[in-house]
Amino acid sequence: MANTFGQLFRTTTWGESHGDAIGVIVDGCPPQMKLDVQDIQKELDRRRPGQSEISTQRKEGDQAEILSGIFEGKTLGTPIMIGVWNRDAKSKDYDHMKDKYRPSHADYSYDAKYGIRNWKGGGRASARETIGRVASGAIAKKFLFQEFGLEIVAYVKQIWEIQANIDIDVVTQDDVESNIVRCPDQDIAIRMIERIKEARKDGDSLGGIVECVARNVPPGLGEPVFDKLEADLAKAVLSLPACKGFEVGSGFGGVVLTGSQHNDAFYSEDSRIRTKTNNSGGIQGGISNGENIIIRAAFKPTATIMKSQESVDVNGNPITIEGRGRHDPCVLPRAVPIVESMMALVLADHALRHRGQTGT
């Protein structure tokens, strides 16, 4: 299994949803960067389960433990290992599913590939794997802010057919964290929350879109051809559980524009080259141009629902299956810090690669 992401800033996640522990090894973080466990914990707290009435009620504190790579509050330049103990796994909730294939889950595909799978909580296919991504992303965020003043903010843009109107250039994390659905548009957030509650009551689930912006990105990050910045961002985001779509800049909306409407005209401001519009989403030719990088991630409705569904067992016999246990009726609110983390991991990796090529 490919469990490592990045070339110079490398993230390797480990552990299963219902195993003893889960976590990450971060290799390539520059030395002498101030880092405290609270830098990591504050991001894990945004991702953890049981944080609101519209998320899964699995009660995990997700307390991070730094096991290596830090000395006297600073990074050593050696691998940083972070672990989180699983405290509230209830594997019995999955006993009735060990010989059955749940619709739109990884059960059948994992069996087809490996001939074995961890059916307790989905194993590595569980979104609990993203604990490692968020912990690593917290380190990447600190590095990027320290080096460039770069900040990354994501929020829920859409749930079901309910769409928010947000000024992406000025939205803050405080705005995002002002409600449990993590949508800065307060009136729309209320509608989203009520719709999620309605879906949960019906035993169903909802999907939506997370939008994310990176500000103060220096120009020059990224590579031409195969390692284009948007290509690496797409791989990072599409590797997330339940993510089925990715856009950068104008995305699919750009197809209804003409070239004259879509092109971002250049101008000079205080000796800095800028663009008057940002349909490119901060990336041109696979390389950052210094404008805000804007991406969107589409997440499907949560696959586990409490409605009766038709499926088959491992022998191909037809069955009827109904979800049990504790699950998010909508993954979007908890996906926000995860999307931010994947953006940070890509930018940190490309920042180090740029430094290696140019010395700056």
183-188-194-197 Cα dihedral, nearest 10 degrees: -30
- Give the chain's domain count: 1
Please indicate, yes or no, whether the overall pTM of this predicted structure exceeds 0.85.
Answer: yes
Instruction: Dump pLDDT digits (tens) for 294-348.
Output: 999 999 999 999 999 999 999 999 999 887 766 889 999 999 999 999 999 999 9
Residue 229: closest CA among 220, 242, 239, 241: 220
305-307-309-314 Cα dihedral, nearest 10 degrees: 50
Instruction: Dump pLDDT digits (tens) for 202-253.
Output: 999 999 999 999 999 999 999 999 999 999 999 999 999 999 999 999 999 9
Instruction: Dump pLDDT digits (tens) for 256-282.
Output: 999 999 999 999 999 899 999 999 999
What is the domain range of residue 82? 4-358
Which CATH number characterizes residue 107's domain? 3.60.150.10
194-201 mean pLDDT: 96
Share of the chain above pLDDT 70, in %: 97
